[in-house]
A and B are shown apart, each in its own frame.
Chain A
Amino acid sequence: MKVTVDEARCCGAGQCVLLAPEVFDQREDDGIVVLLEAEPAEHLHATVREAAAVCPASAIELSDAG
């Protein structure tokens, strides 16, 4: 799984950080998403998928790592 985030769309809701703090964080100075792990380990895939599905700004994209 490959994760990308769109900082311009991000509204800083923090859902992704609440769900998968191993993969997502928020910048201290404006609350915008920081991607910690672009290719998260297998056991995190379910929560990362959930984070993408519930992101209110649709700012998280997932693709197959190939």
Chain B
Amino acid sequence: MSQDHGKKTLSYPIPNDAPLEPPAEWARLRRQCPVARVELPSGDEASLLTRYDDVKQVLADPRFTRLLNADDAARLSADDSGGLFSSEMAQVIPDSGEGHQRWRRLVGKWFTAKRMAALRPVMEEMADQLIDDMVKLGRPADLKASLGFPLPVYVICDLLGVPAADRDRFAYWSDTMLNLTKFAKVEIDAAQAEFAQYMSEHVAAKREQPGEDLISELIRSADADGGGLSDVELLVTGIALLVAGHETTANMIGKMVGMLLADRTRWERLLADRSLVRTAVEESLRFDANSGFGLPRYLREETEVGGTVLPRGTTVICSMAAANRDESVFDGADEMDLSRSPNPHLSFGSGAHSCLGQALARTELQVVLEVLLRRLPTLELAVPVDELPKVDGLVVGGLREVPVRW
């Protein structure tokens, strides 16, 4: 740490009241302390990375494992479980090498750019329908509850073949799994047991009566060549996709619209030139200062990062959001430039573990933005930017509500 903090270790996540602005610490850490000691909600310590090159290198380097269940790995969350990344469930999917590649390719083929592009018409119809319902209820409305949350949930439920009517239960189970400080261990254990029970019944039902959904397809490919996923892998894959498909994109839709309306000249620029939707989505992903905890990695051997030697047993936290503001990579990093290109942001990670669902997320974000621009060109925030309420106590960051009028 630098002198001005003396011996005091920085708390992580770094406290930040501003709903859309990054904490001032990021710029200072990138400049003066690129490998910073931080204290996590569990009380354990870790090393925080904030520079683009360091974060990108570590995320793509297999020496930095996801084996956060090691005895000396830092626990993240304040509950006794240690949180999502150190759960038993997180260890079922192989971390690296051929095992990981096999899983990744078996599941990844259902999330190709083409398959996601083919879902566009369905997504557009859903978005139109949800906006119809929101308009009917009148303004102001909460854009997150009306559109940002239900759209990705319907899409992922459809993909997995689970009923969207159960979405409130999924949302609660997901939240407990993404806990940092919000839930106690007893709540989390109960929710995870219910979630696992639900998903294993779903897998069994699909085995009995296969459909056109992804779970059925994964079972089919397992039966076909014997090299498919085991039951426990299917169960964990289903849960992981449902959680990932829920929280991240739902939050991102709210934040994207929030950022574009916070300075309404951004919205107006998009109204004048719809061809900017693609780059505007990428820039929203880069500019999101509120993306959450970042990604933890655990070191099994001594390794150097950014000129600092990290001993084996170190837990590293990669802040992709801080790296995305690195001036050495992005000109005018603190400006939201809707036509920025190329935009090699790290919001989906980097390397072999980079987000499996990124083509889905991109397609959803583009569709939502296109439909909103077409349907509600007069859209504006219904509260001052500073009053946008933030999601608290979870691994994912976001806005709890996005009040809008039109």
User: Within 8 Å CB of A54, what residues of B?
Assistant: 342-344
Closest-by-CB residue of A relative to B109 is: A31
Interface pair B105/A12, CB less than 8 Å apart: yes
Considering the complex, give the chain B residue whose CB is closest to the CB of A46: B341
* Closest beta carbon of chain A to B8's beta carbon, Å: 36
CB-defined A-B contacts under 8 Å, sample of 15: A11-B351, A12-B356, A13-B354, A14-B112, A15-B359, A17-B112, A18-B113, A18-B117, A21-B113, A25-B114, A29-B109, A31-B111, A49-B342, A56-B349, A56-B351
Q: Is B108 an interface residue (CB 8 A)?
A: yes
- Residues in chain A near residue B104, CB distance under 8 A: 11-12
Query: Which secondary structure dominates where chain B touches chain A?
Result: helix
Report the Cα distance A29→B106, complex, angstroms. Answer: 8
- A18 and B359 in contact, given A11-B104, A12-B112, A50-B342 (Cβ under 8 angstroms): yes
The 5 closest A-B pairs by CB, nearest first: A14-B113, A17-B113, A30-B105, A53-B342, A56-B354
When C-beta atoms are compared, the residue in chain A nearest to B112 turns out to be A26
Q: Which B residues lie within 8 Å of A57 (CB)?
A: 60, 350-352, 354
Closest to B348 in A: A56
Interface string of A1-37 (1 = CB under 8 A from B): 0000000000111110110010001111111100000
B116 and A28: CB pair below 8 A? no
- Chain A interface extent, by class: 20 to 34
Q: Give bound CA distance, A17 to B356, whole Å.
A: 15
Indicate whether A11 sits within 8 Å of B354 (C-beta atoms), given known contacts A30-B105, A49-B342, A54-B343: yes
User: Would you call B339 an interface residue if the criterion is a C-beta within 8 Å of the partner chain's C-beta atoms?
Assistant: no
1/0 per residue, CB under 8 A from A, across B351-383: the answer is 111111011001000000000000000000000
B109 & A14 in contact (Cβ 8 Å cutoff): no
**CB of A60, distance to nearest CB on chain B (Å):** 12
Residues of A contacting B116 in the complex (Cβ-Cβ under 8 angstroms): 14
Total A-B residue contacts, Cβ distance less than 8 Å: 75
Are A12 and B109 closer than 8 Å at their CB atoms?
yes
Give chain A residues whose Cβ lies under 8 Å from the Cβ of B106.
30
Q: CA A13 – CA B362 in complex, angstroms? A: 11
- Enumerate chain A residues within 8 angstroms of B352, measured Cβ to Cβ: 11, 57
Nearest chain B residue, comparing its CB with the CB of A17: B113
- The reply to whether A13 and B348 form a contact with Cβ atoms under 8 Å apart is yes
A18 neighbours in B (Cβ, 8 Å): 113, 117, 359, 362
- Contact (Cβ within 8 A) B343 A13: no
B273 to chain A, nearest CB (A): 18
Asked whether, in the complex, the Cβ of A14 is within 8 Å of the Cβ of B354, the reply is: no
Q: Is the CB of B342 within 8 A of A28?
A: no
Kindly identify which residue among B109, B354, B355, B356 contacts A30, using a CB–CB cutoff of 8 Å: B109
State in angstroms the CA–CA spacing of A28 and B112 once bound together. 8
Chain B residues near A27: list those with CB within 8 A. 109
Min Cβ gap B55→A in Å is 12
**How close is B141's CB to chain A, nearest CB, in angstroms?**
31
Beta-carbon contact of B113 and A26 below 8 Å? yes
Q: Which residue of A lies closest to B117 (CB)?
A: A18
* Known interface pairs A12-B104, A12-B105, A13-B348; A26-B114 also in contact (CB < 8 Å): yes
Tell me which residues from 36 to 66 in chain A have a Cβ below 8 Å from any Cβ of chain B: 49-50, 53-54, 56-58
